[in-house]
Amino acid sequence: MNEFLKEFRDFAMKGNVVDLAIGVVIGAAFGKIVDSIVGDIFMPLIGFFTGGLDFSNHYLALSGTVKPGLSYEDAKKAGAVLGYGNFITVAVSILIVAWVLFIVVKGINRLKREAAAAAPATPPAPSREEELLTEIRDLLKSR
């Protein structure tokens, strides 16, 4: 049992696992920020420019038990509804996340290119065969 725990500890402490855990935590926080940006900034602006349209309460009632004029949450409790307004909000969130990730990856790639261009180019080390040929050449010259 002790060997199993040691093996698990070694696995859990590898750099990739720790990096992944940190990425998941940061991703969860980033998701909350994006939800807030979409729900509190973008969707109200879209509603303002579309004449007060609030996407969060737009749905299509699929059952007769859903009374007209209910909020989306109340309509879901009353029966089957197709919440296309919520879908639009989530789609906008995904587009924002994709855009931000694109910008981040593009920036990282640019930094990598700049670092590669700034690094001095070192010639590759000679292979073993080249070393032996150089020794043979030097021996022949010395004769």
Residue 109 in domain: yes
Domain count, the chain: 1
Whole domain around residue 35: which residue ranges?
2-119
Q: How far, CA to CA in Å, does 79 sit from each of 54, 57, 86?
A: 21, 15, 16
For 80, other C-beta atoms within 10 Å of its C-beta total 13
How far apart CA 59 and CA 79 sit, in angstroms, is 12
Asked if residue 76 is part of any domain, the answer here is: yes
Does 141 map to a domain? no
Domain for residue 70, yes or no? Answer: yes
Q: The domain that contains 6 carries what CATH number?
A: 1.10.1200.120
Q: For the full predicted model, state whether its pTM sits above 0.75.
A: no
Q: Say if 83 falls within a structural domain.
A: yes
Three-state SS at 62: coil
Q: Is residue 133 part of a domain?
A: no
Neighbours of 73 (CB within 10 A): 13
> Which residues are CB-neighbours of 39 under 8 A, at least 6 positions away?
56, 89
Round to whole Å and give the CA distance between 94 and 35: 10
Note whether residue 92 is domain-resident.
yes
Q: For each of the chain's 143 residues, which pLDDT tens digit applies?
A: 788 888 877 777 776 777 788 888 888 888 888 888 877 888 788 778 877 776 777 888 888 888 888 888 888 888 888 888 888 878 887 888 788 788 888 988 898 888 878 777 777 888 899 999 999 999 899 88
